């Protein structure tokens, strides 16, 4: 349990981890090259915003199981690369909420009243009372883009100044926003109605350049824009032009697309812009909170297996729910069984769940089925975090389906695999609390426990086939532990699953395939 901490995180983080049995190394000013060189020695990495955890670094972290971000944003971590490698990425939502919200409000007030400019002018020996006339906040409309924890705190504080608050957040229900006295509106209406705009979204492909010439043209003349969220959400060149034209009267920025920001950035040359060097969360209280929070989350994960703050491991979190573990084991067994029976070229998987209990766990059941399947089919380690990514890289398209109930089973998992011409299906359930059973294969209803070495074969439904197969097992000195039999409705074809004690050699399997009447035979090892 070796942990590497970078970026000068509060010492309490390392202290808590050390007290709980972790070996902690702190490198607050580590270079990219040094990080690449030593990261392979650690299974956990904790960073703030300075360390860029790139795909290259992640690939060097061959032992990494977790990357912790002491803060809310994770845009300095290559989330896709971490997920592909099965690494949990964990942040500390809420730890710096108050600090970031207070800084946003301070920036808004400073921009409205031009406080930094007036301070600088005064310190130069001037007394320019008329030069720095500002605007009041009371009665103005504030648009909050992103109603997460920080956005909500900002809205609450600015309502105390008498501002009307509107917002855009597609993930928030209207009823919830109404309880906060916030009116949810489409994005373009926010831009058209706002006197002040504050950004509180993460940076992703849908929010990059969210504020650009096109959206700036929708805004009121004289609008004031605040961004204490992430650089790149605002197109900086377009904002500079809008300020020069008078469209935007002022901007307050704590973040920039490239950090540290270049002294040649045109926004820094404009008197209407006030700026700080990404310090919204940089209070002693916030840094202490996030350091303690990330350490506590890691300790809880170690002690109980529970995940808090994981941003790429929803399946892992679902797997911790009471009662679901047996179904995940079942799903893995079904996936592994199907991998040993289906054609190698199979490229489409459908996971069907039946029963109200399983509805909530569709995602993690599918992840478990993929894990079982891919553990057999390919060499890389697969887990619930990277299962979907691995399947995509293997060319497997995925479909998830749910039905409220099945006429025969309270809860049923079925997995189908096909390659365009051939389709195989397997289904299973849990009897009692943890008795795992396969109950159907293709058109056959056949019940057996998926454990050990199992010979599964289809044959013409006629006398003597099973006797001939068991005779072969006797000749190879193999004991039969369990036999499950089934036949189709027309009673033309039958299926048999024989669980044996001992190793089934390729020679024996070929002999089974050559028994008169046997059509297809597979060995499944679980």
Mean pLDDT split into 10-residue runs, the chain, 526 residues: 92 96 94 95 94 95 94 86 90 89 98 97 94 96 95 97 96 90 96 98 90 97 97 97 97 95 95 96 91 95 85 78 89 94 84 90 91 84 86 88 89 91 92 92 94 94 92 93 89 91 93 93 94
Reference 474, options 514, 508, 506, 520; nearest CA is: 508
Residues 485 and 508 in one domain: yes
Residues 101 and 13 in one domain: no
What pTM value is reported for the model? 0.65
DSSP summary character for residue 266: G
**For position 28, which CATH number holds?**
3.40.50.720
The SS3 of residue 514 is coil
Residues 473 and 413 in one domain: no
Residue 512 Cα distances to 112, 344, 482, 520, angstroms: 84, 21, 17, 9
Query: What does the block give as tokens for 45?
Result: 């990495």
The rounded distance, in Å, linking the Cα atoms of 505 and 507 is 5
Q: Please check whether residue 280 lies inside any domain of the structure.
A: no
Residues 391 and 295 in one domain: no
Cα dihedral across residues 241, 243, 247, 250: positive or negative: positive
Residue 173 Cα distances to 97, 116, 177, 183, 356, angstroms: 21, 38, 7, 11, 25
Are the C-beta atoms of 310 and 89 separated by less than 8 Å? Answer: yes
Residues 261 and 119 in one domain: yes
Residues 105 and 70 in one domain: no
Query: Which residues touch 159 (CB under 8 Å, ≥6 apart)?
Result: 165, 181
Are the C-beta atoms of 1 and 41 separated by less than 8 Å? Answer: no
Residues 339 and 432 in one domain: yes
pLDDT of residue 404: 86
Residues 261 and 291 in one domain: no
Q: Among residues 442, 465, 495, which one ends one of the domains?
A: 442
Q: Among residues 420, 442, 464, which one ends one of the domains?
A: 442
Q: Please check whether residue 243 lies inside any domain of the structure.
A: yes
Q: Please check whether residue 27 lies inside any domain of the structure.
A: yes
Query: Which residues touch 378 (CB under 8 Å, ≥6 apart)?
Result: 390, 394
pLDDT of residue 342: 83
Reference 402, options 411, 393, 392, 391; nearest CA is: 411
Residues 317 and 416 in one domain: yes
Q: Which residues are catalytic?
A: 230, 259, 278
Are the C-beta atoms of 291 and 13 separated by less than 8 Å? Answer: yes
Q: Which residues of 97-117 are buried (b: 16+ CB within 10 A; e: fewer)?
A: bbbbbbbbbbbbbbbbbbebb
**For position 389, which CATH number holds?**
3.30.1330.90
Strands lying side by side in the sheet with 183-184: 183-184, 164-168, 141-145, 196-199, 223-227, 248-253, 273-275
Q: Among residues 422, 442, 462, which one ends one of the domains?
A: 442
Cα dihedral across residues 265, 267, 268, 274: positive or negative: negative
First to last CA, the chain: 30
The rounded distance, in Å, linking the Cα atoms of 234 and 61 is 33
Residues 220 and 369 in one domain: no
- Apex CA 73: angle with CA 71 and CA 79, to 5°? 120
Reference 438, options 350, 342, 526; nearest CA is: 526
- Full DSSP string of 8-44: ---HHHHHHHHHTT-EEEEETT--HHHHHHHGGG-SE
Q: Please check whether residue 51 lies inside any domain of the structure.
A: yes
pLDDT of residue 226: 98
The rounded distance, in Å, linking the Cα atoms of 339 and 375 is 9
The rounded distance, in Å, linking the Cα atoms of 456 and 448 is 11
Cα dihedral across residues 41, 47, 51, 57: positive or negative: positive
Residues 329 and 413 in one domain: yes
Residues 55 and 202 in one domain: no
The SS3 of residue 516 is coil
Q: Please check whether residue 281 lies inside any domain of the structure.
A: no
* Number of domains composing the chain: 4
The rounded distance, in Å, linking the Cα atoms of 6 and 479 is 58
Q: Which domain holds residue 390?
A: 313-442
């Amino acid at each position: 349990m070796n942990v590497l901490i970078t970026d000068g995180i509060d010492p309490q983080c390392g202290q808590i981890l050390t007290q709980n049995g972790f070996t902690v190394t702190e490198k607050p000013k580590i270079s990219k090259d040094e990080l690449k060189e030593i990261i392979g020695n650690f299974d956990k990495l904790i960073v703030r915003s300075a360390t860029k955890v790139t795909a290259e670094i992640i690939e060097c972290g061959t032992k990494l199981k977790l990357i912790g971000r002491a803060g809310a944003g994770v845009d300095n971590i290559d989330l896709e690369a971490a997920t592909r490698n099965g690494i949990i990425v964990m942040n500390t939502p809420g730890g710096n909420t108050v600090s970031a919200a207070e800084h946003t409000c301070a920036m808004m007030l400073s921009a409205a009243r031009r406080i930094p400019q007036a301070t600088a002018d005064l310190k130069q020996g001037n007394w320019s009372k008329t030069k720095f006339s500002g605007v009041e906040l009371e009665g103005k409309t504030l648009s909050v883009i992103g109603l997460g924890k920080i956005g909500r705190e900002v809205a609450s504080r600015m309502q105390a100044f008498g501002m009307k608050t509107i917002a855009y957040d597609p993930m928030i229900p209207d009823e919830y926003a109404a309880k906060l006295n916030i009116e949810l509106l489409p994005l373009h209406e926010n831009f058209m109605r706002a006197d002040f705009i504050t950004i509180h979204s993460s940076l992703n492909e849908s929010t990059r350049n969210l504020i650009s010439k096109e959206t700036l043209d929708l805004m009121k003349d004289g609008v004031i824009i605040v961004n204490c969220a992430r650089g790149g959400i605002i197109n900086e060149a377009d904002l500079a032009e809008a300020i020069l034209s008078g469209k935007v009267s002022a901007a307050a920025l704590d973040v920039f697309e490239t950090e540290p920001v270049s002294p040649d950035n045109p926004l820094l040359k404009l008197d209407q812009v006030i700026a700080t060097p990404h310090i919204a969360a940089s209070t002693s209280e916030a840094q202490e909170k996030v350091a303690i929070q990330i350490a506590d989350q890691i300790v809880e994960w170690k002690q109980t297996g529970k995940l808090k703050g994981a941003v790429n491991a929803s399946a892992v979190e679902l797997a911790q729910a009471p009662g679901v573990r047996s179904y995940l084991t079942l799903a893995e067994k079904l996936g592994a069984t199907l991998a040993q029976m289906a054609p190698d070229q199979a490229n489409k998987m459908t996971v069907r769940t039946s029963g109200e209990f399983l509805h909530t766990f569709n995602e993690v059941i599918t992840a478990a089925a993929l894990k079982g399947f891919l553990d057999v089919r390919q060499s890389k380690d697969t887990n619930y975090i990277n299962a979907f990514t691995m399947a995509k890289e293997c060319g497997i398209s995925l479909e998830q389906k749910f039905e409220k109930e099945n006429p025969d089973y309270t809860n049923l998992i079925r997995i189908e695999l096909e390659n365009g011409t051939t389709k195989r299906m397997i289904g299973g359930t849990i009897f009692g609390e943890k008795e795992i059973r396969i109950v159907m294969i293709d058109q056959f209803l056949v019940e057996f426990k998926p454990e050990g070495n199992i010979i599964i074969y289809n044959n013409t439904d006629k006398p003597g086939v099973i006797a001939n197969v068991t005779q072969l097992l006797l000749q190879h000195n193999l004991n039969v532990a369990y036999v499950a039999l089934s036949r189709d409705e027309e009673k033309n074809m039958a299926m048999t699953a024989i669980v044996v004690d001992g190793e089934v050699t390729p020679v024996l399997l070929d002999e089974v395939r050559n028994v008169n009447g046997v059509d297809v035979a597979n060995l499944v090892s679980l």
